[in-house]
């Protein structure tokens, strides 16, 4: 037995198995619906399979983009538009780009895509958004070998670049935790994945949102204190304190560079398509801290607004929702807040787009 | 540069390429340079130490060979051993001895402590070096005249940090009659490397997480089931970790045309403690036998002296692993068990029992070995006694080893039993190509899907 051909054959068989299982839809078919990958896969699959009669509008964003298509589509008869959403907790524009590429391969499927951003000023966040390696877990089933260079290079930290590159090449490395979980309960997993494929559309579509509010909390800006009700959830208290009272992250420009690159790529993708990109600024919270980020005339979205297919919704359009009784924690609107938020988006997007032609 | 990192594999590929693309006379230089680069990647500050020990033993051996008078030869031997043991003693045992002295003087245990970094692999390369000097002294080995050859023997990167402890005779027999590895050896080399990598990343590192979670927070896991699973996990961790390292070392050496001795022979299938020590860290056991037990008198001076020699050898073997009373007790525990087996009749513990009895004997041996591992792993003697108490407390619940890892363990046991019976791992390189390809792919997939790849966990024996 000669060594070189046998070793080469071993590598080829490994590549073939890796490719057949992880670089196709085989493994994503049974990935845990509760995992990062599984959540994104569920959202994308539901959106791909959703019947699309008539002009379509798609919402995208993170967990705060609580557009409920159920509410929007109650008004389809008036507006003429059907809404969908692939907004997913924890995702940022880098992930949005790859998700949009998946659900809209020809960049012509939607009349509008509504992108929800935290701020129109590219306010910096703690940590470099480019180095959020959770994106790799979220997107692994959607990443292709041709994405290897750009996706891995989009991280700044070399160890994350390496992790991303090897993850795209050997996807099993990224699915590792999920695979171990599969080994623990294989039959349950197969059953749960099947159930998710069958029912998850209605799980999301019929979502009502929680009734909780933060109305019984008090903020004293002078004393920089938060008063919580008795028996308050400590995690919620901590979240509110961090959001409202912690110093703002220093201005580093990292967020702006990140958003300009990835929102710019999304815009480029749709530059010659009939799809309009509509940006909205998310409601900021139940209370608005006095030290808001500095106005940035050269922010990513303000510069993109100069493009013919891009529209910015009024920055203060959702100010009326910024009340404690409409928020369930420091970031997210509650059930009634979601209803109003969804209705406002529906009406404003329909107004921007005008009646369907 | 850990063996289980991409950097190391890049280093290995570059070294192999340079080695085989260079003209023959340059190859030893390539290997020596690579070995020192490997050593420096850990801590370049210890290069003078390695060079000094190499030089001292190189010169001492030549002088010993030249001198005929036994007394003068002995002086060179003593000087060489003093240098080796002096360095080893200072770096490894100074703080331990200082704490004993401080306690004897009723002072703070850290009163005489120094901040000492243990040089990488010092326990291994000093033992290797000492064995060479002793062999030359005994006229069993010719002194190596070429300093490059000798430096390579000491620093050869596949075994520099954690063995196997190769005797000079073995190394140089291979070195001076070096032949490029044939196809079968190359295939075996690759298989050993991948097998070692899988043992380390798939099994050892997974079990390490369970063992760490148990031993780092004993109070959180009361009761016998947790204790047995924590101790059992450590037993698996240390075996798969150390034998994984050794397998990789053997594989790398094979790819470079060197044949290392076997260091592990499925030790958890041992049917007695005597058998265990014929299977566990074989090159250390051999070293202790040839350079400690036999010079102490071995079994040549009656039963009492034999037990004394056995106990002394095992105590020092324990101390070799680390400077703490825990290791001494671990060594003493094994010494006592070996002595007990001698008392009960050596024959029973050296000859394989009837196949019906074998599983019981193997299980009892494994339990005894596990009890010993408690001293090896627990941070303090108090912790050790607590864990021993928990092991035999017969209460509590909560096995820490998840079902899938238990399944992997059962699979490993099946593979070990098959290997014990048929030695099929060695045969794979000679068997049909499809079997070899299947084994390689299975090993690589297991590393990819189950191996701990988020962070490279150092090998346990690197600390010794």
Are B156 and B73 found together in one domain?
A: yes
Q: Distance (Å, rounded) from C-alpha A103 to C-alpha A119?
A: 26
Domain assignment of residue B320, yes or no: no
- The parts of chain A modelled with pLDDT lower than 50 are none
B-chain CB neighbours of A184 within 8 Å are 402-404
Q: Distance (Å, rounded) from C-alpha B280 to C-alpha B30?
A: 33
How much is the pLDDT for A256? 94
CA nearest to B403 within chain A: A184
Domain assignment of residue B360, yes or no: yes
Are B106 and B55 found together in one domain?
A: yes
- The parts of chain B modelled with pLDDT lower than 70 are 461-464
Residues of A near B (CB-CB distance < 8 A)?
A: 1-3, 5-7, 9-10, 13-14, 17-18, 162, 166, 170, 172-173, 175-176, 179-180, 183-184
Give the residue from A245, A246, A261, A314 showing the smallest Cα distance to A122. A261
Q: Which tokens belong to A91? A: 């995702």
Domain assignment of residue B374, yes or no: yes
pLDDT (tens digit per residue) in B298-334: 888 888 889 899 999 999 999 988 888 899 999 999 9
Is the distance from CB of A113 to CB of A310 less than 8 angstroms?
A: no
How much is the pLDDT for B348? 74
How much is the pLDDT for B299? 83
Q: How many structural domains is chain B composed of? A: 2
Please indicate whether, in this complex, the C-beta atoms of A1 and B407 are within 8 angstroms of each other.
no
Are B123 and B209 found together in one domain?
A: no
Q: Could you give phi then psi for residue A57, rounded to 5 degrees? A: -125, 135
Domain assignment of residue B72, yes or no: yes
Residue B13 CA: distances (Å) to CA of A8, B9, B40, B448:
16, 6, 18, 20
B267 torsion bin: left (phi>0), alpha (psi -120 to 50), beta (else) = alpha
- Cβ-count burial A250-262 (b if 16+ within 10 Å, e if not): eeeebbbbbbbeb
With vertex at residue A170, the alpha carbon angle to CA A168 and CA A172, rounded to the nearest 5 degrees, is 110
What pTM does this model have? 0.84
B-chain CB neighbours of A17 within 8 Å are 441, 445
What are the extents of the domains in chain A?
A: 31-353
Give the residue from B189, B171, B260, B261 showing the smallest Cα distance to B16. B189
**What is the least distance, in Å, from the CA of B442 to any CA of chain A?**
9
Q: Is B190 an 8 Å CB contact of chain A?
A: yes
Of the candidates B120, B143, B178, which is a domain's last residue?
B178
**What is the least distance, in Å, from the CA of A222 to any CA of chain B?**
44
Beta strands in A70-229 (DSSP E): 82-85, 112-117, 218-220, 225-227
Of the candidates B158, B178, B198, which is a domain's last residue?
B178
Q: Is B429 an 8 Å CB contact of chain A?
A: yes
The residue behind tokens 């989009």 is: A154
Domain assignment of residue B132, yes or no: yes
Are B25 and B115 found together in one domain?
A: yes
How much is the pLDDT for B464? 65
Give the residue from A323, A315, A353, A356 showing the smallest Cα distance to A340. A323
Please indicate whether, in this complex, the C-beta atoms of B445 and A173 are within 8 angstroms of each other.
no
Domain assignment of residue B209, yes or no: yes
Please indicate whether, in this complex, the C-beta atoms of B449 and A172 are within 8 angstroms of each other.
yes
How much is the pLDDT for A1? 66
SS3 of residue A243 by DSSP: helix
Are B119 and B37 found together in one domain?
A: yes
Catalytic residue at B321? yes
Are B145 and B199 found together in one domain?
A: no
Q: Is B278 an 8 Å CB contact of chain A?
A: no
Is the distance from CB of B155 to CB of B32 less than 8 angstroms?
A: yes
pLDDT (tens digit per residue) in A275-306: 999 999 999 999 998 888 889 999 999 999 99
Domain assignment of residue B299, yes or no: no
Are B101 and B208 found together in one domain?
A: no
Are B95 and B168 found together in one domain?
A: yes
How much is the pLDDT for A45? 93
Domain assignment of residue B443, yes or no: yes
Are B169 and B235 found together in one domain?
A: no
How much is the pLDDT for A184? 83
**The domain containing residue B228 runs over which residues?**
184-271+352-463
Are B75 and B204 found together in one domain?
A: no
Of B190, B402, B449, the CB nearest to A179: B449
B423 torsion bin: left (phi>0), alpha (psi -120 to 50), beta (else) = left
How much is the pLDDT for A11? 93
The total of other beta-carbon atoms located within 10 Å of residue B364's CB is: 13
Are B48 and B163 found together in one domain?
A: yes
């Amino acid at each position: 037995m000669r060594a070189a051909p046998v070793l080469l054959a071993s590598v080829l068989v490994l590549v073939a198995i890796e490719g057949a299982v992880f670089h196709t839809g085989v493994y994503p078919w049974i990935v845990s619906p509760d995992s990062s990958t599984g959540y994104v896969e569920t959202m994308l699959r539901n959106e791909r399979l959703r019947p699309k009669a008539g002009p379509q509008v798609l919402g995208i964003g993170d967990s705060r983009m609580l557009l409920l298509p159920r509410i929007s589509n109650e008004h389809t008869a008036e507006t003429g538009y059907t809404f969908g959403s692939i907004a997913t907790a924890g995702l940022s524009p880098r992930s949005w780009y790859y998700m949009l590429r998946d659900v809209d391969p020809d960049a012509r499927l939607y009349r509008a895509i509504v992108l929800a951003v935290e701020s129109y000023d590219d306010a910096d966040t703690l940590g470099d958004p480019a180095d959020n390696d959770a994106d790799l877990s979220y997107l692994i089933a959607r990443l292709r070998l041709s994405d290897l260079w750009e996706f891995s290079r989009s991280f700044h930290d070399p160890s994350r670049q390496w992790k991303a590159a090897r993850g795209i090449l050997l996807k099993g490395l990224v699915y590792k935790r999920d695979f171990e979980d599969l080994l623990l309960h294989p039959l349950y997993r197969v059953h749960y994945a099947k159930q998710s494929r069958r029912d998850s559309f209605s799980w999301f579509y019929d979502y009502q949102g929680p009734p909780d509010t933060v109305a019984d909390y008090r903020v004293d800006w002078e004393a920089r204190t938060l008063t919580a009700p008795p028996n308050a959830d400590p995690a919620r208290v901590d979240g509110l304190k961090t959001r409202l009272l912690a110093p703002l992250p220093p201005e580093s420009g990292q967020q702006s560079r990140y958003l300009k690159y990835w929102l710019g790529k999304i815009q480029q993708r749709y530059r010659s398509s009939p799809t309009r990109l509509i940006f909205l600024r998310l409601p900021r919270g139940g209370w608005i801290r006095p030290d808001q980020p500095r106005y940035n005339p050269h922010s990513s979205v303000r510069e993109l607004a100069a493009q013919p297919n891009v529209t910015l919704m009024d920055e203060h359009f959702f100010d009326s929702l910024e009340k404690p009784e409409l928020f369930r924690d420091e970031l997210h609107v509650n059930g009634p807040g979601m209803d109003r938020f969804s209705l406002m988006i529906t009406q404003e997007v329909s107004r921007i787009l005008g009646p369907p032609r | 540069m850990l063996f289980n990192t991409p950097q190391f594999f890049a280093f290995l590929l570059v070294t192999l390429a340079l080695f085989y693309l260079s003209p023959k006379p340059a190859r030893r230089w390539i290997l020596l340079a690579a070995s020192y680069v490997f050593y420096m990647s850990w801590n370049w500050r210890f290069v003078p130490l390695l060079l000094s020990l190499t030089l001292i033993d190189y010169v001492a051996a030549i002088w010993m060979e030249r001198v005929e008078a036994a007394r003068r030869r002995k002086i060179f031997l003593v000087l060489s051993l003093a240098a080796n043991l002096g360095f080893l003693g200072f770096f490894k045992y100074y703080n331990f001895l200082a704490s004993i002295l401080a306690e004897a003087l009723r002072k703070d245990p850290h009163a005489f402590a120094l901040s000492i970094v243990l040089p990488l692999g010092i326990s291994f390369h000093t033992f290797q070096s000492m064995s060479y000097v002793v062999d030359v002294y005994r006229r069993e080995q010719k002194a190596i005249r070429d300093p490059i050859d000798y430096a390579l023997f000491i620093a050869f990167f596949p075994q520099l940090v954690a063995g196997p402890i190769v005797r000079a005779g073995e190394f140089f027999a291979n070195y001076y009659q070096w032949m490029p590895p044939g196809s079968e050896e190359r295939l075996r080399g690759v298989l050993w490397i991948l097998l070692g990598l899988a043992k380390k990343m798939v099994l050892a590192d997974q079990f390490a997480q369970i063992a760490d979670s148990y031993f780092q927070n004993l109070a959180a896991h009361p009761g016998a089931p947790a204790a047995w699973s924590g101790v059992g996990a450590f037993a698996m961790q240390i075996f798969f970790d150390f034998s994984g390292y050794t397998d990789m070392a053997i594989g790398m050496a094979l790819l470079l045309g060197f044949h290392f001795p076997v260091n592990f022979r499925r030790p958890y299938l041992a049917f007695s403690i005597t058998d265990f020590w014929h299977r566990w860290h074989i090159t250390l056991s051999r070293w202790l036998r040839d350079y400690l037990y036999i010079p102490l008198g071995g079994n040549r001076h009656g039963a009492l002296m034999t037990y004394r020699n056995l106990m002394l050898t095992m105590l020092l073997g324990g101390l070799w692993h680390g400077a703490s009373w825990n290791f001494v007790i671990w060594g003493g525990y094994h010494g006592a068990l070996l002595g007990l087996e001698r008392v009960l009749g050596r024959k029973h513990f050296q000859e394989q029992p009837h196949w019906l009895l074998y599983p019981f004997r193997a299980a009892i041996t494994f339990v005894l070995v596990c009890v010993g591992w408690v001293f090896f792993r627990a941070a303090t003697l108090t912790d050790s006694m607590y864990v021993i108490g928990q092991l035999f407390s017969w209460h509590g619940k909560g096995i820490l080893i998840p079902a899938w890892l238990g399944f992997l363990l059962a699979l490993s046991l099946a593979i070990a039993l098959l290997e014990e019976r048929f030695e099929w791992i060695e045969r794979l390189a000679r068997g049909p190509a499809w079997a070899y390809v299947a084994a390689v792919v299975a090993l690589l997939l297991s590393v990819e899907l189950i191996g701990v790849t988020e962070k490279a966990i150092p090998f346990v024996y690197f600390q010794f």
